[in-house]
Amino acid sequence: MISRLRTRRLRRNAPTSESTPSKWAVELSGCARTYPGVPPVEALRPANLSVAHGDYIAVVGPSGSGKSTLLNLLGLLDRPTAGTYQLAGHNTADLSERERTAIRGHRIGFVFQSFHLLPHRTALENVALAQLYVTPRRAARSAAASAALQQVSLTHRQHALPTVLSGGERQRVAIARALVNTPDLLLCDEPTGNLDSTNAASVMDLLEELNATGVTVIVITHDPAVAARAHRSVTILDGHLTEVTAP
Ligand code: ADP
Ligand code: MG
């Protein structure tokens, strides 16, 4: 546990050790994304959003409102066309492609609606693959994956293929994969969208537990029950982001 915490602290400083620590995990200022075309699509209109370290925030909006566009920006999978995005106090516009990839691998965990597991790899192998960037040692990858699966209570299913797991179990494997590199920020795009209410509730419990360990959680959802569990909600409608609950 101690070594895990130490690793996390080191990672929190890298690769931005020269910058001052920020209160904000995420800070958007006038951040927008327009997709080119005729006419262009203003998927995210200039948005301001500050998310403190350790916060748990829901982004709610109907289909096509810009939720995934926002998540892709937050996850460094895309770049804003206007404004700035500061991640842990560091302007992401200054990061090289290599640094963006490193941050995605080490500091950000992703959970998607459709799990995105490799079907011919066991649960353990799926989780261990996320460690390829972290260590060349296969045994170390397996040990970390096993610990992450224990965190999501799936030790007994670690050698199963995703095809024989229930939807809820698959999403828990995906969460273990997102966790295995001890991220600071967890980004979830409709994590309960393919689950029945019982499994959705267990995924929500898990997100809350992770948040309680200090991980900043941003969850995109159209489900009011999911949004109600977060500390804060923002809505997005036709690309306009609006705060619902004051921080
Ligand atoms: P949501 O996740 O809320 O359903 P998206 O962020 O996926 O919404 O999409 C927001 C808007 O941007 C939609 O009108 C969608 O059609 C458009 N859009 C998304 N991705 C692209 C793209 N790569 N090129 C052009 N338009 C896009
Ligand atoms: Mg979407």
Query: What confidence category does residue 51 fall into, taking pLDDT thresholds of 50, 70 and 90?
Result: very high
For ligand 1, whether the C-beta of 64 sits within 6 Å is yes
Q: Which residues have C-beta within 8 Å of that of residue 44, sequence separation ≥ 6?
A: 31, 32, 33, 66, 69, 70, 73, 80, 236, 239, 241
Mean pLDDT (whole number) for 215-222: 95
Q: How far is the CA of 38 from the centre of ligand 2 (A)?
A: 22
Sign (positive/negative) of CA torsion 110, 116, 122, 128? Answer: negative
What distance in Å separates the CA atoms of residue 164 and residue 177, rounded to the nearest whole number? 18
Mean pLDDT (whole number) for 27-42: 97
Residue 20: the pLDDT is: 61
**CATH: 3.40.50.620, 3.30.930.10, 3.40.190.290, 3.40.50.300. Which one for 2-11+54-77+96-243?**
3.40.50.300
Q: How far is the CA of 66 from the centre of ligand 1 (A)?
A: 6
Q: What is the pLDDT of residues 219-235, one digit of tens each?
A: 999 888 899 999 999 99
For ligand 1, whether the C-beta of 33 sits within 6 Å is no
Q: What are the helix (H) ranges across 158-196?
A: 167-179
What distance in Å separates the CA atoms of residue 38 and residue 156, rounded to the nearest whole number? 53
Q: How far is the CA of 222 from the centre of ligand 1 (A)?
A: 15
Q: How many residues does the chain have?
A: 247
Query: What confidence category does residue 73 fall into, taking pLDDT thresholds of 50, 70 and 90?
Result: very high
- Given a cut of 90, whether residue 83 has pLDDT beyond it is yes
Q: Where are the domains of the chain?
A: 2-11+54-77+96-243
Global pTM reads 0.89
What distance in Å separates the CA atoms of residue 20 and residue 237, rounded to the nearest whole number? 34
Mean pLDDT (whole number) for 103-108: 92
